């Protein structure tokens, strides 16, 4: 594969004339039609943390949020002293149910998180309306939902603010990365002021991420995904590369350097993808339709498709999740397992440490046992989709 490395080499140089971070933030603002201000961070969770800092979230405050997510989401505010109030998900859409969310709001609620799981839009405008004038910030977790439309508007522009992740397997990737979108000018000014205390990735980390991105671009396809992921996890465990999370951010105070800017290599990758945002979305729409057509002839339930849905992964329920994941790894078929517990990747026995009571969100717990997901990204071709469905039809068992 022929690759032009020059733009990345230029981008990494601290003496480079133009900072790609400024350009990428502008690309995003343009994509969202100038309705939001975009701020870049090292990861999606850091974007949420930045927002929580900017509104002064602290002890005694509550954040209402869905179970069936990553533990790094509540960890973005729990170290500030705020408490998570978990609500169950809709078993069809895996999303926040407005009724449950509104019922969980109490006198101490300062923020509600509305998650568009797998890119399926969660009704948000109704929640915004109900929270108006109540000093409660409605924040969209749009980490899976780049390109999705929510209540007729781009996901990420309906709530007061939103955060997106551009980690490896998200709708588009910059390796690791996070984006905060803010609608309100005063709030954006507070976010901007707080950026004075952001750490910046040094050149070694920037270079590491550039190398990982090149390796990802050259080597990772749905067929190679399984072993590439194992290799990445092994290198992370050995402390040789930066992983999707580190143990020291999952307990106690957040580690130094957590509140960190996006690096140049990440932003440069973002600029390259931004040229093709429209085709990224169009591709995923096509793959999503292909799955629907192929699955129509199987006993597996077709993913929900409310208007505006643009999936990041194709979710399905199976009765034999673990067996299927093991077989897929052997067969070189990319089958994902978001989320393995209501607060992935923490085992059920440790969820109480994060304020989650076992049994309190039964649908989230059932989804964690049953839901797998199939690839849909720009790296997945039609033949990968066909292969994944063939594999599922052969080895998967639909839930009773
Ligand atoms: C729904 C959801 N929100 C937030 C995050 C955190 O994103 P990041 O890894 O960029 O911090 C994830 C990560 O996978 C996620 O799935």
Domain at 24, CATH number? 3.40.640.10
183 and 301 within one domain? no
**Ligand 1 atom closest to the CA of 73, numbered from 1:** 4
Stretches where the chain sits below pLDDT 50 are: 1-3
Give nearest CA residue, ligand 1 atom 3.
143
**Ligand 1 atom closest to the CA of 69, numbered from 1:** 1
125: left (phi over 0), alpha (psi -120 to 50) or beta: alpha
Structural domain includes residue 192? yes
142 and 12 within one domain? yes
In 3D space, the residue among 341, 337, 373 whose CA is nearest the CA of residue 360 turns out to be 341
Give nearest CA residue, ligand 1 atom 7.
44
Structural domain includes residue 62? yes
Structural domain includes residue 344? yes
Tokens of 170: 């998200």
Give the domain extent around 66.
Answer: 6-197
CA of 178 to the centre of ligand 1 (A): 9
Output the CA–CA distances (angstroms, integers) from residue 279 to 36, 112, 273, 377, 400, in the order listed: 22, 32, 10, 11, 38
The last residue of one of the domains, among 197, 230, 255, is 197
Q: Kindly report the length of the chain.
A: 400
The last residue of one of the domains, among 197, 225, 243, is 197
315 and 172 within one domain? no
160 and 42 within one domain? yes
CA of 325 to the centre of ligand 1 (A): 21
In 3D space, the residue among 16, 31, 32, 27 whose CA is nearest the CA of residue 269 turns out to be 27
Output the CA–CA distances (angstroms, integers) from residue 43 to 50, 52, 251, 326, 355, in the order listed: 11, 15, 18, 29, 23
Non-local (6+) Cβ contacts of 146 within 8 A are 119, 155, 156, 164, 170, 171, 172, 280, 281, 310, 312
How many structural domains comprise the chain? 2
Please tell me if the CB atom of residue 317 comes closer than 6 angstroms to any atom of ligand 1. no
CATH, residue 357: 3.90.1150.10
Please tell me if the CB atom of residue 70 comes closer than 6 angstroms to any atom of ligand 1. yes
Query: Can you state the percent helix, strand and coil of the chain, rounding each to 5?
Result: 40, 15, 40
Give nearest CA residue, ligand 1 atom 13.
70
Please state the separation of Cα 128 from the chain's center in Å. 21
Task: Choose one of 39, 44, 48, 115 to mutate for the ligand 1 pocket test, by most ligand atoms within 8 angstroms of C-beta.
Answer: 44
**Residue pair 374/335 in contact by the 8 Å Cβ criterion:** yes
138 and 28 within one domain? yes
170 and 22 within one domain? yes
287 and 181 within one domain? no
CA of 210 to the centre of ligand 1 (A): 21
Give nearest CA residue, ligand 1 atom 10.
44
In 3D space, the residue among 303, 292, 281, 299 whose CA is nearest the CA of residue 372 turns out to be 303
Rounded-to-integer distance, Cα 178 and Cα 377, Å: 18
282 and 186 within one domain? no
CA of 177 to the centre of ligand 1 (A): 10
DSSP-derived pairing of the beta strands 137-141 and 149-150: unpaired
Structural domain includes residue 232? no
Tokens of 287: 């793959």
**pTM given for the model:** 0.94
Structural domain includes residue 382? yes
The last residue of one of the domains, among 176, 197, 218, is 197
CA of 69 to the centre of ligand 1 (A): 8
152 and 13 within one domain? yes
**Ligand 1 atom closest to the CA of 72, numbered from 1:** 6
Structural domain includes residue 268? no
**Ligand 1 atom closest to the CA of 178, numbered from 1:** 10
Question: Per residue, what are the HEC states of 380-399?
Answer: CCHHHHHHHHHHHHHHCCCC
Please tell me if the CB atom of residue 266 comes closer than 6 angstroms to any atom of ligand 1. no
307 and 191 within one domain? no
In 3D space, the residue among 19, 11, 31, 67 whose CA is nearest the CA of residue 354 turns out to be 67
178 and 73 within one domain? yes
Instruction: Give pLDDT, residue 8.
Output: 56
Angle between helices 277-295 and 382-395 (to 10 degrees): 30
Rounded-to-integer distance, Cα 265 and Cα 327, Å: 35
Instruction: Give pLDDT, residue 1.
Output: 39
14 and 131 within one domain? yes
Structural domain includes residue 98? yes
Structural domain includes residue 203? no
CA of 34 to the centre of ligand 1 (A): 24
Instruction: Give pLDDT, residue 5.
Output: 54
């Amino acid at each position: 594969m022929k690759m032009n490395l020059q733009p990345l080499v230029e981008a990494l140089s601290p003496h480079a004339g133009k900072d790609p971070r400024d350009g990428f933030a502008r690309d995003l603002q343009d994509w969202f039609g100038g309705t939001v201000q975009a701020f870049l961070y090292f990861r999606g969770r850091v974007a949420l943390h930045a927002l929580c800092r900017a509104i002064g979230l602290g002890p005694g405050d509550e954040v209402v949020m869905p179970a069936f997510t990553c533990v790094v989401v509540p960890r973005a505010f729990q170290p500030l002293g705020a408490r998570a109030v978990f609500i169950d998900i809709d078993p069809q859409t895996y999303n926040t149910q407005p009724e449950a969310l509104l019922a969980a709001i109490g006198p101490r609620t300062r923020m509600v998180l509305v998650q568009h799981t797998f890119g399926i839009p969660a009704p948000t405008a109704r929640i915004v309306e109900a929270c108006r004038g109540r000093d409660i910030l409605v924040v969209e977790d749009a980490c899976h939902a780049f390109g999705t439309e929510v209540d007729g508007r781009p996901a990420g522009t309906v709530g007061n603010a939103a955060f997106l992740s551009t980690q490896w397997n998200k709708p588009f990737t910059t390796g690791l990365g996070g984006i905060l979108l803010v609608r309100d000018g005063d709030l954006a000014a507070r976010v901007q002021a707080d950026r004075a205390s952001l750490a910046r990735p040094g050149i070694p980390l920037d270079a590491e991420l550039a190398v990982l991105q090149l390796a990802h671009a050259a080597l990772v396809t749905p067929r190679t995904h399984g072993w590439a992921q194992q290799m990445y996890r092994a290198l992370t465990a050995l402390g040789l590369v930066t992983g999707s999370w580190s143990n020291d951010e999952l307990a106690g105070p957040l580690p130094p350097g957590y509140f960190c800017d996006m690096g140049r290599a990440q932003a440069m990758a973002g600029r390259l993808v931004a040229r093709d945002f429209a085709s990224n979305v169009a591709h995923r729409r096509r793959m999503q339709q292909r799955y629907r057509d192929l699955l129509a002839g199987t006993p597996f339930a077709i993913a929900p498709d409310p208007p505006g849905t643009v999936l990041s992964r194709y979710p399905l329920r199976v009765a034999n999740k673990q067996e299927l994941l093991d077989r897929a790894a052997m067969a070189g078929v990319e089958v994902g397992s978001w989320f393995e517990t209501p607060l992935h990747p923490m085992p059920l026995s440790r969820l109480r440490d994060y304020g989650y009571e076992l049994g309190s969100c039964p649908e989230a717990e059932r989804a964690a046992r049953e839901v797998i997901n199939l690839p849909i990204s720009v790296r997945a071709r039609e033949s990968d989709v066909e292969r994944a469905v063939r594999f599922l039809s052969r080895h998967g068992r639909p839930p009773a």
